[in-house]
A and B are shown apart, each in its own frame.
Chain A
Amino acid sequence: MSAFIDARTVPDGTVLEPDLAIVGGGPAGISIALALANTPLRVVLLESGGMSFDPATQALYNGAKSGVKYLGLEASRMRFLGGSTNIWGGWSRPMDKIDFEERSWMPHSGWPFGLDALAPHYARAQTLCEAGPWLYDKAEHWSQSEMPTVPLGAGGVATRWFQFSKMRGSLLPTHFGERYADDLKKVRNLTTYLHANVTRLGLAANGGKIEHLDVATLNGHRFSLKPKAVILAAGAVEIARLMLASNDVMSSGVGNANDVVGRYFADHPIPRDIGTVILFDGKLEPYYLTTQTMHGAILRAGLFPSEAYRRNKAMLDSSITIESKTLLDPLGKTTVATTAAALGVDASKAAAFTLGGGCEVTPDPDCRITLDSERDALGVPRIKLQMKLADSDLAHFRATLKELGRQLLASRAGMIRLNMKERGQWLTGLDWGNHHMGTARASNDPKKGVVDANLQVHGVANLFVVGSAVYPTYGAVNPTLSIVAMALRLADHVKGLLK
């Protein structure tokens, strides 16, 4: 077993020459490092932080924001081993086939690979996320007697299931750094450097490959790597920052000949109290409201638009969760009683619940990260984020909520109140998923994307990007499980490439 190396003890001027350098020790970087264990490849994993939170390291994330109110850039990620799994919620669910498709109603959509490319890696990703047996598909076919679901008339919304990561005992969810530290130390062909900040991607003079990486520590040490290949796995904001800031050879930065790096930044809007659902019989299974341990997994039911609905109605994706019991105002009570009576249903035991959820957004090239004139403690330019949120995206979410209400009425099981209409209502108390996506999007066309189907940066032979930075479109499910699956796919590719 080899201990992690504290980069603050590496002598200045040291040059490391691994086969592969992985920049970022979050779920993607750790998954790749583990997947490449016991291969002939000499791998170095570079993590900016240590084994726990450090304010000075975390402050390297600070940046400026404008546009729609957004989370603090230093608060929505974690800069120590394990990355943002140190603060994730454990929500896991694979993406759908339609998420990868080019859709006429969604500008800039279409991945250079499909679900079939990730599917072989999801099982291992599920294991690494410790999200239990793969029940997502099976769960949708559980009988009403086995797992009763909210009765809905035919339509576009159906109950589907989240699974949750569980680390051990009552510790939810899996923190990749803490959980896999010992496993990483056992990998003989891997050296992990903590407190190692990559400050520059050193392009060859012709811009065609990465020749070296500059590394700095907060105590002033500087050294470099000359790897055969590099994988950027540092999160969508830092990846864009590093590529843009490495502009000494190409003035636009690395892989940015077509001005795509940093554009199309996205997150999942999480508006609160978006609606009120009424169930006339008052009955709701507990797994709609909170996680429940069942079938050997931790599960929670949500309400999702089906692929057919999204296709037929030209809708964006969303996920709806039932949050908590609530009370109605007098007009609400009257409306429920009047509606139930009109439908010929007894509503004397009706119960009301608040709704939450998140939605997909349309890729927007002007929602972007650029470099600021300010620099961090290591001399790297800080970022500026221009955040946007389109009314039309919120309208899609509202339409899907209305579809849910329609299906409840059609089944005479309940009804819905939509709490959001005007933009100001949506933005009041708006939260975000902390799912940074899109800044190094994948496309086979270098003019439309930063990386190709193999996640190789266009025009830079030995540079790869992994994580939700490469998402051209974003779906509505939490990205960690798919990030890990994508990382495992890239590990396979790199293994073949460098052998």
Chain B
Amino acid sequence: MKTLFSRRNLLVGVGTAAVVAGVGYEATRVLRKRYAPSPYDDLLAKLDDRDGSAQIGEAVLAEVDDFDAKAVAAQLRAKLVQSSLADLATADAAAERLLEAHGWVLPQSLALLCALAAKAAA
């Protein structure tokens, strides 16, 4: 009885799939938006949408006086060693640590991350 997939066809198929996957991965890597290095890249990596976050961050910066990016980054790093961003943001809300951006009420840690994204994009 003739099999549906010969050994030869199977090898060709797997090889083709590998090539396509490799090309796709490389294309994504090449096409992914690149940012100029900033001192906050480790923190900004926690944001899903860095450009969008930077837009939010502009509004946050308009609300915060004397924004000290280095100090803010250091504080966030210290906190994010101990907990995830999700837990930290939730804890912010529970503890009334909030900031506003264009009227949006945000957890402080998220708002400050967005402000760093804005600084990095500047």
A→B interface (CB under 8 Å): 153-154, 275, 331-332, 334-335, 337-339, 341-345, 402, 405-407, 409-410, 412, 415-419, 421
Contacts and interface: CB of A to CB of B under 8 A. Distances in A.
Interface in B40-97: 46-49, 52-53, 55-56, 84-86, 89-90, 92-94, 96
Given A337-B48, A338-B48, A410 B90 contact: yes
Contacts of B104: 332, 335, 339, 415-418
Contact of B52 (A338, A343, A415, A418): A338
Nearest to B85: A342
Interface centre among A335, A412, A415 (most CB of B within 10 A): A335
A338 B47 contact: yes
Given A338-B114, A409-B90, A344 B84 contact: yes
B115 interface: no
B105 A402 contact: yes
B89 A342 contact: yes
B98 interface: yes
B103 A419 contact: yes
A397 to B, nearest CB: 14
Given A337-B49, A338-B52, A410 B93 contact: yes
Q: Which 8 A-B pairs have the closest CB atoms?
A: A344-B86, A409-B93, A405-B105, A334-B52, A410-B93, A341-B48, A418-B103, A342-B110
B90 A412 contact: yes
Contact of B102 (A339, A344, A345, A417): A417
A409 B48 contact: no
A331 B102 CA distance: 9
Given A339-B89, A402-B98, A418-B105, 18 more contacts: A331-B55, A334-B55, A334-B56, A337-B48, A337-B52, A338-B52, A339-B106, A341-B49, A342-B48, A342-B85, A342-B86, A342-B89, A343-B107, A409-B92, A409-B106, A412-B90, A418-B103, A419-B103
Contacts of B103: 275, 417-419, 421
Given A338-B110, A342-B47, A344-B84, A406 B53 contact: no
A326 B106 CA distance: 20
A338 B90 contact: no
A312 to B, nearest CB: 12
B118 interface: no
Judged by DSSP, the binding face of A is helix
Interface centre among A342, A405, A409, A412 (most CB of B within 10 A): A342
B56 A410 contact: no
Contacts of B116: none
Given A335-B104, A418-B105, A406 B96 contact: yes
B75 to A, nearest CB: 16
A343 B94 contact: no
A384 to B, nearest CB: 37
12 contacts: A335-B102, A338-B110, A342-B46, A342-B85, A342-B113, A402-B105, A406-B93, A406-B98, A407-B93, A409-B93, A409-B106, A409-B107
A331 B56 contact: yes
Contacts of A275: 103
Nearest to A335: B104
A331 B103 CA distance: 11
A339 B86 CA distance: 9
B107 A338 contact: no
A421 to B, nearest CB: 7
Contacts of A409: 89-90, 92-93, 98, 105-107
A335 B86 contact: no
Interface centre among A332, A402, A406 (most CB of B within 10 A): A406
B39 to A, nearest CB: 21
Interface centre among A339, A405, A419 (most CB of B within 10 A): A339
Contacts of B92: 409
B105 A416 contact: yes
A410 B96 CA distance: 9
A335 B101 contact: yes
Contacts of B94: 153-154, 410
A417 B86 contact: no
Contacts of A343: 86, 89-90, 107
Contacts of B98: 402, 405-406, 409
Contacts of A335: 52, 56, 101-102, 104, 106
Nearest to A420: B103
Contacts of A407: 93
Contacts of A342: 46-48, 85-86, 89, 107, 110, 113
A339 B84 contact: no
Given A334-B52, A338-B47, A342-B86, A153 B93 contact: yes
